[in-house]
Structure 1
Amino acid sequence: MADSGEPTSNWAPLFDTGAHQVATVEPPGGSSGPIPIFAPPEQVPGVHAFLKRWVLGLVLAGVWLVAGVAGMALCEWWFASLDKTGPVFVVLVYLVVCSVAGMLLAMVPGKPLITALSIALMSAPLAATAGAGLLYGSYVYGWFGQ
């Protein structure tokens, strides 16, 4: 083979980006050297950066309850209709709306309640499936009249 003039050895990237300038302040005693100055975290009075567990549970329970009823309604509509195109299309739209709304709400920074709502919306199709399964099981086991 002819020598093409290109190196054939492995190339490893260098992650050395050089020195970084850090703002420092001299300590009053002068014994330990300069101390770096950090910006304080941005906090708004009265707004917490966390969510209590019971609030998360209430948000999840509320969204899941609505999603379970929606799943039951979609399941009933699917079984009752002769043409399945409408119910299947609505289920597809429901899945897309839940997913996109959950992802859009997850991008809101600094609002833990909105983040809990996004988690609940992204898991709403699971609750809708559980509601549909509960309705189907009630028909199979004869809990309700046909």
Structure 2
Amino acid sequence: MSEQTILEDPSPSNELPPPHAQPIVVPSAEQSVSRWRFVLVTAGMWIAAAAAGAGLYYWWFHGADKSLPVFAVLVFVVACTVGSLLTAMVQERPGLAAMSLALMSAPLAAALGAGGLYASYVFGWIST
């Protein structure tokens, strides 16, 4: 190899490097939901689920045939689970993500509603 090829600079020194890209602001949706909004969404879903649980327990307690109310409870739990999973797949919507979490815990709230009705029967607050 000759000395001339080694010492040659492939880029001339008078050229400037390309400028960096300037940042831009792009409007987008919120990335999270505030605590109070999450609490309101969850409380609303839990109130509806507790009423459904109390209604299902009332139907089971006063029904002669227990198979249909038990099947309705199974359908309720499956609908809550599938609805929560489908709602969780929506992207860039934090309100729907909060609703998905509330819907996933709705069977717990339904059990608490049924437990409240059961306790009112046991303690005699409501006559059967």
TM range (shorter): 0.7 to 0.9
Higher relative contact order (CA 8 A, sep 6+): 2
Percent of aligned positions that are identical: 48
Shift of 1:27: 7.9
* Cross-structure match for 2:92: 110
* Cross-structure match for 2:43: 61
* Cross-structure match for 1:97: 79
| SS of aligned partner of 1:144 | coil
Matched, 1:75 2:57: yes
Deviations 1:58-113 (A, max 9, x none): 00000000000000000000011111111011101000000000001001110000
CA distance in 2, matches of 1:96, 1:110: 25
The answer to which structure has the higher helix fraction is: 2
CA distance in 2, matches of 1:113, 1:107: 12
CA distance in 1, matches of 2:79, 2:127: 33
* Cross-structure match for 1:88: 70
- Normalising by structure 1, report the TM-score: 0.70
Equivalent residue runs for 1:1-146 within 5 Å: 43-44=27-28, 47-146=29-128
Aligned-residue CA RMSD in angstroms?
Answer: 2.1
Structure 1 runs not aligned, ≥5 long: 1-25, 29-34
Q: What is the aligned residue count?
A: 111
Structure 2 runs not aligned, ≥5 long: 1-16
